[in-house]
Amino acid sequence: MKQCWSEQPERRPTIDQIFDQFKNINKGRKTNIIDSMLRMLEQYSSNLEDLIRERTEELEIEKQKMDKLLTQMLPPSVAQALKMGTPVEPEYFEEVTLYFSDIVGFTTTSAMREPIEVVDLLNDLYTLFDAIIGSHDVYKMGGDGWKEMK
Protein backbone atom coordinates (compact mmCIF):
# COMPACT_ATOMS: atom_id res chain seq x y z
CA MET A 1 0.00 0.00 0.00
CA LYS A 2 2.86 2.37 0.77
CA GLN A 3 4.24 1.85 -2.73
CA CYS A 4 0.92 3.04 -4.17
CA TRP A 5 1.53 6.46 -2.62
CA SER A 6 5.02 6.88 -4.04
CA GLU A 7 5.79 10.34 -5.45
CA GLN A 8 7.47 8.71 -8.44
CA PRO A 9 4.88 7.07 -10.71
CA GLU A 10 7.32 4.41 -11.98
CA ARG A 11 7.70 3.14 -8.40
CA ARG A 12 3.95 2.64 -7.97
CA PRO A 13 2.75 -0.92 -8.58
CA THR A 14 0.41 -1.66 -11.45
CA ILE A 15 -3.07 -3.01 -10.78
CA ASP A 16 -1.83 -6.46 -11.92
CA GLN A 17 1.00 -6.32 -9.38
CA ILE A 18 -1.45 -5.32 -6.64
CA PHE A 19 -3.76 -8.15 -7.64
CA ASP A 20 -0.83 -10.62 -7.51
CA GLN A 21 0.11 -9.41 -4.04
CA PHE A 22 -3.45 -9.95 -2.83
CA LYS A 23 -3.41 -13.44 -4.36
CA ASN A 24 -0.22 -14.19 -2.40
CA ILE A 25 -1.78 -12.86 0.79
CA ASN A 26 -4.84 -15.07 0.23
CA LYS A 27 -2.65 -18.09 -0.58
CA GLY A 28 -4.11 -18.58 -4.03
CA ARG A 29 -7.77 -18.60 -2.96
CA LYS A 30 -10.06 -16.65 -5.23
CA THR A 31 -11.43 -13.76 -3.23
CA ASN A 32 -12.63 -10.29 -3.84
CA ILE A 33 -10.02 -7.55 -3.27
CA ILE A 34 -12.47 -5.63 -1.08
CA ASP A 35 -13.09 -8.74 1.04
CA SER A 36 -9.34 -9.19 1.40
CA MET A 37 -8.88 -5.58 2.45
CA LEU A 38 -11.73 -5.86 4.97
CA ARG A 39 -10.23 -9.07 6.38
CA MET A 40 -6.86 -7.32 6.74
CA LEU A 41 -8.49 -4.32 8.44
CA GLU A 42 -10.34 -6.64 10.85
CA GLN A 43 -7.05 -8.37 11.72
CA TYR A 44 -5.38 -5.00 12.23
CA SER A 45 -8.27 -3.86 14.43
CA SER A 46 -8.08 -7.05 16.50
CA ASN A 47 -4.32 -6.63 16.95
CA LEU A 48 -4.85 -3.03 18.08
CA GLU A 49 -7.49 -4.10 20.59
CA ASP A 50 -5.11 -6.71 22.03
CA LEU A 51 -2.33 -4.13 22.24
CA ILE A 52 -4.61 -1.62 23.98
CA ARG A 53 -5.79 -4.28 26.45
CA GLU A 54 -2.18 -5.24 27.21
CA ARG A 55 -1.08 -1.63 27.69
CA THR A 56 -4.09 -0.92 29.89
CA GLU A 57 -3.17 -3.87 32.13
CA GLU A 58 0.43 -2.61 32.33
CA LEU A 59 -0.84 0.86 33.24
CA GLU A 60 -3.05 -0.58 35.98
CA ILE A 61 -0.11 -2.52 37.46
CA GLU A 62 2.04 0.63 37.48
CA LYS A 63 -0.82 2.61 39.07
CA GLN A 64 -1.08 0.01 41.84
CA LYS A 65 2.70 0.26 42.42
CA MET A 66 2.43 4.05 42.63
CA ASP A 67 -0.48 3.85 45.08
CA LYS A 68 1.45 1.42 47.27
CA LEU A 69 4.52 3.67 47.21
CA LEU A 70 2.44 6.74 48.11
CA THR A 71 0.87 5.00 51.10
CA GLN A 72 4.28 3.82 52.26
CA MET A 73 5.79 7.29 52.10
CA LEU A 74 2.92 9.47 53.33
CA PRO A 75 0.14 9.36 55.91
CA PRO A 76 -3.05 7.84 54.42
CA SER A 77 -4.96 11.14 54.45
CA VAL A 78 -2.19 12.92 52.53
CA ALA A 79 -1.81 10.09 50.01
CA GLN A 80 -5.58 10.03 49.37
CA ALA A 81 -5.72 13.81 48.89
CA LEU A 82 -2.84 13.71 46.41
CA LYS A 83 -4.48 10.89 44.44
CA MET A 84 -7.72 12.89 44.26
CA GLY A 85 -5.82 16.04 43.21
CA THR A 86 -6.99 18.08 46.17
CA PRO A 87 -4.65 20.41 48.05
CA VAL A 88 -3.10 19.13 51.24
CA GLU A 89 -3.16 21.52 54.13
CA PRO A 90 -0.07 21.39 56.34
CA GLU A 91 -0.59 20.16 59.89
CA TYR A 92 0.91 21.71 62.97
CA PHE A 93 2.22 19.63 65.87
CA GLU A 94 3.32 21.05 69.22
CA GLU A 95 5.95 18.37 69.68
CA VAL A 96 7.69 16.10 67.21
CA THR A 97 10.25 13.38 67.73
CA LEU A 98 12.20 11.68 64.98
CA TYR A 99 13.69 8.32 65.76
CA PHE A 100 16.38 6.73 63.62
CA SER A 101 17.60 3.30 64.53
CA ASP A 102 20.85 1.54 63.86
CA ILE A 103 21.77 -1.96 64.93
CA VAL A 104 25.39 -1.86 66.03
CA GLY A 105 27.37 -4.66 64.40
CA PHE A 106 24.48 -5.60 62.10
CA THR A 107 26.66 -6.08 59.01
CA THR A 108 29.04 -8.41 60.83
CA THR A 109 26.26 -10.28 62.61
CA SER A 110 24.16 -10.75 59.48
CA ALA A 111 27.16 -11.97 57.47
CA MET A 112 27.50 -14.92 59.88
CA ARG A 113 23.82 -15.92 59.74
CA GLU A 114 21.45 -17.44 57.20
CA PRO A 115 19.23 -14.89 55.41
CA ILE A 116 16.07 -16.23 57.07
CA GLU A 117 17.69 -15.77 60.49
CA VAL A 118 18.41 -12.12 59.67
CA VAL A 119 14.83 -11.60 58.51
CA ASP A 120 13.49 -13.22 61.69
CA LEU A 121 15.77 -11.07 63.87
CA LEU A 122 14.62 -7.85 62.19
CA ASN A 123 10.98 -8.90 62.28
CA ASP A 124 11.17 -9.70 66.01
CA LEU A 125 13.03 -6.48 66.79
CA TYR A 126 10.63 -4.18 64.94
CA THR A 127 7.56 -6.05 66.17
CA LEU A 128 8.72 -5.28 69.72
CA PHE A 129 9.35 -1.67 68.72
CA ASP A 130 5.82 -1.45 67.25
CA ALA A 131 4.38 -2.82 70.48
CA ILE A 132 6.14 -0.11 72.50
CA ILE A 133 5.11 2.80 70.31
CA GLY A 134 1.62 1.36 69.87
CA SER A 135 0.59 2.88 73.17
CA HIS A 136 1.46 6.41 71.98
CA ASP A 137 -0.28 8.73 69.54
CA VAL A 138 2.38 8.66 66.81
CA TYR A 139 2.97 8.16 63.13
CA LYS A 140 5.46 5.50 62.24
CA MET A 141 7.18 5.37 58.90
CA GLY A 142 9.06 2.17 58.23
CA GLY A 143 9.44 -0.54 55.65
CA ASP A 144 5.69 -1.06 55.50
CA GLY A 145 4.84 2.64 55.37
CA TRP A 146 2.98 5.13 57.51
CA LYS A 147 0.89 3.80 60.34
CA GLU A 148 -1.16 5.90 62.63
CA MET A 149 -0.57 4.39 66.05
CA LYS A 150 -3.07 5.09 68.83
DSSP for 64-123 reads HHHHHHHHHHS-HHHHHHHHHT--------S---------TTHHHHHHTS-HHHHHHHHH
Tell me how far CA of residue 119 lies from CA of 25, 34, 73, 107, 124, in angstroms. Answer: 60, 66, 22, 13, 9
| Regions in the chain scoring below 70 on pLDDT | 1, 26, 28-31, 139-150
The pLDDT of residue 30 is: 64
The pLDDT of residue 140 is: 67
The pLDDT of residue 146 is: 47
Q: What is the mean pLDDT of the chain?
A: 81
The pLDDT of residue 113 is: 93
The model carries a pTM of 0.42
